[in-house]
């Protein structure tokens, strides 16, 4: 009963390096989301995918790309990491109904030096 | 861009005290959700309010949704150390996206 699984849990990168954050769900939800959480800033939406095969920009998409590989998996890629992208990244899943909750993974803590 | 203002940002109280957290917006949301987040974990839903004027209770927690569906409050009665955590309000938008407030960090000391 994993729910939403994010890998890796921790990562340290050097400026300019690239990496992909992975997210997989077994909730059978159509929608998936990537957020970043910074101190005092709450959660800000980076990208989302309302259904398999579609992706859309959120509030803070610059410097990121996403891929909805299939219904279960939604990845977030940093092509050239910058110190400003140091953050905790959360993946979430949900249904198409706005009164239903989103279900979050435990986050990936990313530091960029 | 819809914004949610959450206050206070930080609250430190003694066990047994009551407290209220506020979540205000100039925009109308179809629903508003409250989440609680503990260190090292993702947010977990506490409640969803949908109807203007709605009041929901979850043990010692009382949630209200304003009549105009622009604001909400969370009241905790007789806070306990186990209530310590980050409380987040979030308004539902298109494609079931959520706009989060900046959160209220609650510390309840024994």
| Predicted pLDDT of residue A1 | 58
| Predicted pLDDT of residue B26 | 86
What are the per-10-residue average pLDDT scores of chain B (110 residues)? 87 97 90 93 93 94 93 96 96 84 96
Residue A82 to residues A60, A111, B41: CA-CA distances in angstroms?
14, 9, 24
| Predicted pLDDT of residue B27 | 86
Contacts of A39 (CB under 8 A, 6+ apart): none
Per-residue confidence in pLDDT tens, chain A, 113 aa: 579 999 999 999 999 999 999 999 999 999 999 999 998 888 999 999 999 989 999 999 999 999 998 999 999 999 999 999 999 999 999 987 777 889 999 999 999 99
Chain A residues inside the 8 Å CB shell of B44: 104
Residue B46 to residues A13, A80, B87: CA-CA distances in angstroms?
35, 37, 9
Closest-CA residue of B relative to A3 is B42
**Rounded distance between C-alpha atoms, residue B4 and residue B71, angstroms:** 9
How far is the alpha carbon of B98 from chain A, nearest alpha carbon, in Å? 8
> Is there a cis peptide before residue A34, judged by omega within 30 degrees of 0?
no
**Rounded distance between C-alpha atoms, residue B25 and residue B33, angstroms:** 13
Closest-CA residue of B relative to A48 is B97
- Please name the member of A41, A99, A105 whose beta carbon is closest to the beta carbon of B50: A99
| Predicted pLDDT of residue A99 | 75
H helices of B28-84, in order, are none
Q: Is A61 on the interface with B (CB under 8 A)?
A: no
Pairing of strands B5-7, A65-68: unpaired
Helix (H, G, I), strand (E, B) or coil at B4: coil
Closest-CA residue of B relative to A6 is B42
| Predicted pLDDT of residue A4 | 96
**Rounded distance between C-alpha atoms, residue B93 and residue A18, angstroms:** 31
Q: Is A27 on the interface with B (CB under 8 A)?
A: no
| Predicted pLDDT of residue B3 | 84
CB contact under 8 A, B43 and A43: yes
DSSP chain A: ---EEEE-SEEEE-TT--EEEEEEE-S--SEEEEEEE-TTS-EEEEEEESSTT--EE-S--TT-EEEE-SSSBEEEEESS--GGG-EEEEEEEE-S-TTSPPEE---EEEEE-
CB contact under 8 A, B40 and A96: no
Strand order across the beta sheet in which B55-58 lies: B5-7, B19-24, B71-76, B61-65, B55-58
């Amino acid at each position: 009963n994993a729910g939403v699984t994010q890998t890796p849990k921790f990562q340290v990168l050097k400026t300019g390096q690239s990496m992909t954050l992975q997210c997989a769900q077994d909730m059978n939800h159509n929608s998936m989301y990537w957020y970043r959480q910074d101190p005092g800033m709450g959660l800000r939406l980076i990208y989302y995918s309302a259904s398999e095969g579609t992706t859309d920009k959120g509030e803070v998409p610059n410097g990121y790309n996403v891929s909805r590989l299939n219904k279960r998996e939604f990845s977030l890629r940093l092509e050239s990491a910058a110190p400003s992208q140091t953050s905790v990244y959360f993946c979430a899943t949900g249904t198409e109904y706005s009164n239903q909750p989103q279900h979050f993974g435990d986050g990936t803590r990313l530091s960029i030096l | 861009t819809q914004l949610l203002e959450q206050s206070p940002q930080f609250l430190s109280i003694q066990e047994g005290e009551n407290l209220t957290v506020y979540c205000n917006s100039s925009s109308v949301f179809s629903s508003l959700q409250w989440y609680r987040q503990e260190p090292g974990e993702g947010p977990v839903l506490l409640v969803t309010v949908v109807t203007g004027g709605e009041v929901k209770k979850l043990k010692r927690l009382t949630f209200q949704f304003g009549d105009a569906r622009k604001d909400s409050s969370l009241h905790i009665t007789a806070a306990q150390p186990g209530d310590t955590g980050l409380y987040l309000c979030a308004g539902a938008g298109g494609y079931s996206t959520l706009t989060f407030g900046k959160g209220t960090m609650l510390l309840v000391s024994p």
